[in-house]
Amino acid sequence: MEADSQTTGVSKRTLWAGRIISALPVLFLLFSGVVKLMKPAVVVQEFARLGYPESLVLIIGVIEIACTVVYVIPRTSVLGAMLLTAYLGGATATYVRIGDPFFIPIILGIFVWLGLYLRDARVHALVPLRS
């Protein structure tokens, strides 16, 4: 029943567009988190290049997967979007700090919120865009 109240007022077309747009960052972040859990040498080297110790690889991978799972569950999707925004903000700050391009985490964050906006009437109510 909870999912019904979230999608009431959202057309089927908009709902599916939101699901598809939400799937893009979900798949990317789950893949990224799982790779961190596997801890291949390339990930350890990248963490060193970014200035993070190897001991944080697994912790960050677990946090990434946990935030993504919270986002995927309809009842907690708004909390998940907030957590992912914080996570992706940290990634953006890391790339800015070392002078690398930082548009990927920003684009992922936009997709997280756009997908949620399209599939959840509660977010529509909070952010009423005008036509």
107 alpha-carbon distance from chain centroid: 10
pLDDT tens sequence across 2-56: 455 676 678 899 999 999 999 999 999 999 999 999 999 999 999 999 999 999 9
CA distances from 95 to 46, 51, 76 (A): 12, 10, 29
**Count of structural domains within the chain:** 1
Round to whole Å and give the CA distance between 33 and 90: 15
In this structure, is residue 126 part of a structural domain? no
Its domain, for residue 59, covers 11-120
Residue 6 lies in a domain: no
**Any domain includes 111:** yes
Percent of the chain with pLDDT over 90: 83
Residue 3 belongs to a domain:
no
Report the C-alpha gap between 82 and 85 in whole angstroms: 5
pLDDT at res. 16: 94
Where do we find the tokens 């990248």?
46
Flag whether 125 is in a domain: no
Q: What digits encode the pLDDT tens for the residues 64-106?
A: 999 999 999 999 999 999 999 999 999 999 999 999 999 999 9
pLDDT of res. 5: 60
Q: How many Å apart are CA 57 and CA 39, to the nearest integer?
A: 7
Does 127 reside within a domain? no
The verdict on residue 109 lying in a domain is: yes
